[in-house]
A and B are shown apart, each in its own frame.
Chain A
């Protein structure tokens, strides 16, 4: 029998966990080296992107492949807002940056908010026509739109600096900003998911026609979910830009490859699970760093293997395939990690210990 904890107990546990997380992050920021901290920050940035991505792909059930497009919009928007006018003048060597972007400079928080709003606006513009499609067709349309965004970034020399990209961004995305935004993203997306709005989204995912017969305006709900998801993708883009300190319109940074990385994270974690998205993001960030050794020269016994660049992604793909064979629905499935589940899990462990 499932046992439930009292709501007040759960509130205390949650507050305790938040306090503990802050403490752990503080300790980490003081004791870990910059490399480890960078991975920690990357986990949070990927987390923001993955959680917003699973909101549209897992919870609303829309197969979108355009997430990187919104990340790109966010990255460029905030980068153009945080760079100093002097830096901009130095970077734009082919064509000068258009007014008023060349004189504006804001703080990081404003820039990130603007990045989110701008990405949400684009999500609306792209979602409005393409959400009339479903399934694979929607995937193709959104993939196309995200590629259009990237090509625009490549060619709008006087706005994005084209192929030269933007360099020397201030490294604002420290541990507190990244994990703070991850916290906000999770709180907002979770409360939406467990509201009646979120229930409607899940109903649409399960059976759109039945949902429509329940009185749900399917298109409006999907569009809203798409815009909300776009907002946090933009926020993620802003954090990403100020973590890398440089952005350029290559497919691997803000193009289709990023969408596929995010897809790996959310499918690996469990499509439709917010916990799963974070686990997936953490695994991806850690593994893609840790697996770097396979690209270096290795000595096994008396053999020496020269590293093959790109080998990391091969192993990554293999790991991904194996995981999907073992856990069909990803690590978490559609489940979330809740206090009640942990409590029941601990209760189930106890009697076994007595027997032993």
Chain B
């Protein structure tokens, strides 16, 4: 992956929550067109990495570069406008807005009506269920539908980089597989993806390259097929000895 064009580059990122040192020098690279995954246990710093890139959490030191531009500690709305969208952990759809309004919120920073319409059609192709639920309030959807909506909402900004925080969390096994399939499909359309998962098996089978986080540090990285064979990873995250 070294020669490829980089979309996102994180260098020696340090983040603190008060006195707690949450990220202790994270460095990672996301090449254009790839699916990159961050796996690790609870509290490893996966979500913090994403929220810091999105600008929701401030970094104490380190650098985040997106398409060659420094975006470290830029406000979240600026980061979004530059082409990074996030599917937040726990979905966080707007419960009192309709499905349509939720989708339109995703396209909030855009002005091109035709492009928005195109993407709406594309999203309906990915998730036909959403089209049936268009006038329903977001809060009345099932968990799986909410996750579809959260992914679609992020796609509505037509992002260059899509960051997903535990998209398989709390979903039925069949739906989990569907979500990973959709991630591949979205990537197939040319969107670069940074995927954070606790479901290490699913994530490693979907992504091209992976990083393993432990208590705020990257302890292992490599192409996913190698990680899947790695004894440490097998023992700690895949549950196979």
Contact = CB atoms under 8 A, between A and B. Distances in A.
A2 B108 CA distance: 28
Contacts of A214: 80, 105-106, 108-109, 153, 157
A318 B86 CA distance: 47
A52 B92 CA distance: 28
Contact of A213 (B86, B96, B101): B86
Contact of A200 (B54, B85, B86, B108): B108
B97 interface: yes
B228 interface: no
Interface in B72-131: 75-77, 80-81, 85-86, 88, 92-97, 101, 104-106, 108-109
A213 B88 contact: yes
Contacts of B153: 214
Query: Chain A interface residue count: which class?
Result: 20 to 34
B92 A209 contact: yes
A207 B76 CA distance: 14
Given A196-B104, A214-B153, A203 B86 contact: no
A192 to B, nearest CB: 15
Interface in A240-278: 272
B41 interface: no
A211 B105 contact: yes
Nearest to B102: A203
B169 interface: no
A209 B88 contact: yes
B56 A209 contact: yes
Contacts of B76: 212-213, 215
A2 B86 contact: no
A334 interface: yes
B97 A199 contact: yes
B77 A207 contact: no
Interface in A184-227: 196, 199-200, 202-203, 205-207, 209-218
A2 B98 CA distance: 15
Contacts of A216: 77, 105, 108
Contacts of B85: 213
A199 B101 contact: yes
A210 B157 CA distance: 14
Given A206-B96, A207-B94, A215-B109, A199 B104 contact: yes
A200 B104 CA distance: 9
Interface in B29-66: 54, 56
For chain A, what secondary structure do more than half of its interface residues adopt (helix, strand, loop), or is it mixed? helix
Interface in A1-48: 2
Contacts of B92: 207, 209-210
B89 to A, nearest CB: 11
B53 to A, nearest CB: 11
B140 interface: no
B135 interface: yes
Contact of A215 (B77, B93, B94, B95): B77
A203 B105 contact: yes
Nearest to A217: B77
Nearest to A199: B101
B135 to A, nearest CB: 7
Contacts of B96: 202, 205-206, 272, 334
Contacts of B75: 217
Contacts of B104: 196, 199
Contacts of A2: 135
A280 B3 CA distance: 66
A217 B96 CA distance: 20
Interface string A74-117: 00000000000000000000000000000000000000000000
Given A199-B101, A200-B108, A203-B97, A215 B56 contact: no
Contacts of A203: 94, 97, 101, 105
A202 B108 contact: no
Interface in A291-321: none
Given A210-B93, A215-B80, A199 B105 contact: yes
A199 B80 CA distance: 18
Most chain A CB atoms below 10 A, which of B56, B96, B109: B96
A200 B88 contact: no
B108 A215 contact: yes
A2 B81 CA distance: 37
A272 B135 CA distance: 18
A202 B135 contact: no
Interface in A317-353: 334
A278 to B, nearest CB: 20
12 contacts: A199-B97, A200-B108, A203-B97, A206-B95, A206-B97, A207-B93, A210-B88, A210-B93, A211-B94, A213-B56, A218-B77, A334-B96
